[in-house]
Structure 1
């Protein structure tokens, strides 16, 4: 008789988080599919929708088999498809590109923590699917002329070694930034441009004053990061990143529930903290490290405000917990 292996805490946590992430993606992709008129983008959106829907179904099956409650997800109640389009077609493509890129990273973190065969098979497949989606969205952005490549540098001519500790200095006389540092600055800035467009659209439609103020603060944080890192690139004569064209319509009717909006921001904050931490680990110049530490702290504080909002509104679900042994041991 086959021995049934129980799920570990890492596997339960990973499945639980992915269910919420992919369920939210299904809702958002439903919205973009409803409004998008570009046939090439619509085909990619449909593919992304089917992939996310498949992930939701697979996680549901595993959790049901284990007798674990399914998290409360989002549904048609969180969408208003009768609202006018809030974003133009190209933003739907940017959404698939950005979300597949972040999903690849997030799912990779989870995959290395799981071991049970069915769970590992699921996450390995998910990494492959999101990688393919990222590849297709990047190629489509290139073909439509909206993909901004990282800065070019001359090819190195020989291998060199670091000779002085001054290589770490970012204050006073500074060395030029290296390719790893350029890469992290570029994609941090790209991510924040996407966030600004998202905030810009949502600020037009959100009527709740507290949530409106929360989104406004997020937009300001993104603007500060873009200015900081573009200024660095300009000083290095790497020109800086150029903002994408405005992809927000003039609609003032919200297509999303407040719960969906705040949950989306909470998820984006979490992955942003992870990505800035990664940038910090690769940046050897002290001024860059100082900026990344500053923004990690700022986003942590901002994320806590979003979490407070979710708790106050009754939207924050309690993740699976270990039991309190002290309570269980009471007479």
Structure 2
């Protein structure tokens, strides 16, 4: 028998996941509206418009849920404050298509993690619909990438003669002597991490060119250098096993230097990219039996965590960091009496 839980109070997880979705979608609309204005490719523009419609519908639904529970709607990002739709082109249409593909991938990951912690029916339904929409967006972007012959298909594996089992402990080694070839999961993660860093490199190049404050420009340049270094490491590991390395995206950035996005929006997206990288590196460590790969991921993870901390401090300094939902500070409440 179905349980009517529509009137349940929102849980901490539901509030947090809805709040995060609102922030992400409000920021995405600013970028997508700009991409729509600049897009010349008739195959790509409809996907951008579809993504805008999805993001706007998400904002409307989250606002409705929050209003129903008398919970403050996040401020987020505004087109009139955070983007100049009349600015010149910063990224190519092909870059935007890859951006849309990764938007779908990130949606699948984030919404699938939100669903298990959404007991209330309307919230569960919302994230379930978002999950299906992300799958559709990913499919649309992937199909056009394939049609244009620019999709990163990844690597291929030879077909073994029979099923086999690991017989020696050196399957786990990797520090000294001969390293065994990469496994399928290791290749998948290295490919994915390379592509995310390559996309991040191009985005940060663009951000560094149009940032207003010197601190933000320097932060973006530093992030670009970190992402490029990580790409080089992943590329080297893949090449050692004679595995194809995906392409990069630096040439998809124009020479524009005038204002396009607000520093606040660019810092938000940069720190969001870092958070995504932390999650993927952690997952990659758990799926990489070869010890040298675990050591590499651990080292790179610490590097981007330090970078993330500096980014948070910069956002706090300029009043750009909107505080996420949090528990009450009981000690502070007690001091007010």
2:59 aligned with 1:56: yes
Deviations 1:268-322 (A, max 9, x none): 1111111111111101101111111111111111111110011000111121222
Give the structure 2 partner of residue 79 of structure 1. 83
1:237 aligns with 2:242: yes
Question: What residue number does 2:96 align with?
Answer: 92
Contact 2:201 2:250 in 1 (8 A): no
Question: Is 1:283 the counterpart of 2:288 in the alignment?
Answer: yes
Instruction: Call closer, same or farther: CA 1:147–1:245 in 2, change over 3 Å.
Output: farther
Residues 57-108 of structure 1 deviation map (CA, whole Å, 9 limit, x = unaligned): 1001000110000111211221111211111211211111112111211221
- Inter-partner Cα distance in structure 1 for 2:35 and 2:223: 23
Is residue 146–residue 244 contact of structure 1 (8 Å, CA) maintained in 2? no
Aligned residues: 331
The alignment status of 1:14 with 2:21, answered yes or no, reads: no
CA contact (8 A) 1:192 1:225 kept: yes
Shift of 1:244: 4.0
Consecutive unaligned residues of structure 2, counting only runs of 5 or more, are: none
Deviates more, 1:180-189 or 1:313-322: 313-322
* Deviation of the 1:327 alpha carbon: 4.1
Shift in Å at residue 132 of structure 1?
Answer: 0.9
SS of alignment partner, residue 135 of structure 2: helix
The equivalent residue for 1:32 is 35
Deviates more, 1:319-328 or 1:32-41: 319-328
Distance 1:183 1:109 in 2: 21
Q: Could you tell me how far 1:329 is from its partner in structure 2? A: 5.0
Q: 1:329 to 1:47 in 2, by over 3 A?
A: same
2:91–2:254 Cα contact (<8 Å) kept: yes
1:113 corresponds, among 114, 117, 122, to 117
TM value normalised by structure 2: 0.95
In structure 2, the residue matched to 1:153 is 157
CA contact (8 A) 1:86 1:251 kept: yes
Question: Over residues 165-196 of structure 1, what are the superposed CA-to-partner deviations in whole Å (9 max), with x where a residue is unaligned?
Answer: 21110112211110000000001101111111
5 Å matches for 1:105-184?
Answer: 105-172=109-176, 173-184=178-189
Q: CA-atom RMSD, angstroms?
A: 1.6
Q: Distance in 1 between matches of 2:7 and 2:92?
A: 49
Distance verdict in 2 for CA 1:207–1:153, change over 3 Å: same
Asked if structure 2 preserves the Cα contact closer than 8 Å seen for 1:107 and 1:126, the reply is yes
Q: Aligned partners of 1:300 and 1:5: how far apart in 2?
A: 37
Matched, 1:23 2:49: no
Say if 1:199 and 1:216, in contact at 8 Å, map to a contact too.
Answer: yes
2:6–2:122 contact (8 Å) kept in structure 1: no
4, 18, 23: which one aligns with 2:7: 4
| TM-score normalised by structure 1 residue count | 0.96
Give yes or no for contact 2:95–2:249 (8 Å, CA) kept in 1. no
State the shift of 1:243 in Å. Answer: 2.4
Shift of 1:2: 8.1
Match of 2:269 among 264, 273, 291: 264
Q: Secondary structure at the match of 2:117?
A: coil
Secondary structure in structure 2 of the residue aligned to 1:170: coil
Residue 41 of structure 1 corresponds to: 44
